[in-house]
Structure 1
Amino acid sequence: MDENILGLVAGGITSVAMLPQLIKVLKEKDVEDLSLLMICTLIVGLSLWVWYGFTKNELPIILSNAFAVLVNICLLISFLIYRKKSK
C-alpha cells in the first residue's frame, strides 16, 4: 500500500474522532463535561503537527491535523458560547 494513502486513511480516521463530540455539543448545547484544558492542549498539539508536516512536506500529516485543528477550534468556540448558558 502506498504510504501516502496509508497516512491519509490513518489521519482521516483520527481527525474525525472529535466530530461526534462536536455534534453532541451543538445538538445539546451542553459543555459541562468538557475540559477546556484538554481542548486547548489538543489544539496546540495538533497545530504543532501541522507545522511539523510543513517542515517535512508531508501532505497526509498537514491535511489530517489541519482538519482536526478546525474541528477542535469549533469545539472551543462552542465551549465558550455554551459555557455561560450551562452555569
Structure 2
Amino acid sequence: MIGEWVGYVAASLTTLSFLPQAIKTIRTRDTSGISLGMYVVFTVGVACWFLYGLALTSWPMIVSNLLTLGLSATILTLKLRHG
C-alpha cells in the first residue's frame, strides 16, 4: 500500500515539474530552444511508460504518463509546425 502512495507522489511531482515548460511553450508558441530529436525520443518514451503502466494496471503510471504524453505530444506538434 505504501508503495502505491509513493508512486502517486512520484508521478504527481514528475508530471507537475513538466507543466510550467509546457504552459510557456503552448502560450508563446516559441519552440526555438527545444530539440526536435529530444522531444521525439521523450514522447515515444512516455508513450512506452504509459503502455507499461497499462500492462501492470498501475494507476499512478497510467494517469501521470497519459497527462505527460498529452503535453509532450502538444509541444512536439508545435515544434513540427513552428520549428
Task: Let me know the Cα RMSD of the aligned residues.
Answer: 1.6
TM-fit CA distance, 1:54: 1.3
In structure 1, distance between residues paired with 2:64 and 2:26 = 22
The aligned runs of 1:24-43 (5 Å cut-off) are 24-43=24-43
The residue number in structure 2 matching 1:17 is: 17
**Could you report, residue by residue, the CA deviation over 1:32-72 in whole angstroms, capped at 9, with x for unpaired residues?**
11001111111111111111111111111111111111110
Equivalent residues, number: 83
5+ residue gaps in structure 1? Answer: none
Give the aligned residue type for 1:66: L
5+ residue gaps in structure 2? Answer: none
Q: Which 4+ residue blocks in structure 1 deviate beyond 3 angstroms?
A: none
In structure 2, distance between residues paired with 1:45 and 1:62 = 13
Which structure: larger Rg?
A: 1
SS in 1 for 2:30: coil
TM-score by length of 2: 0.85
| Percent of residue pairs identical | 30
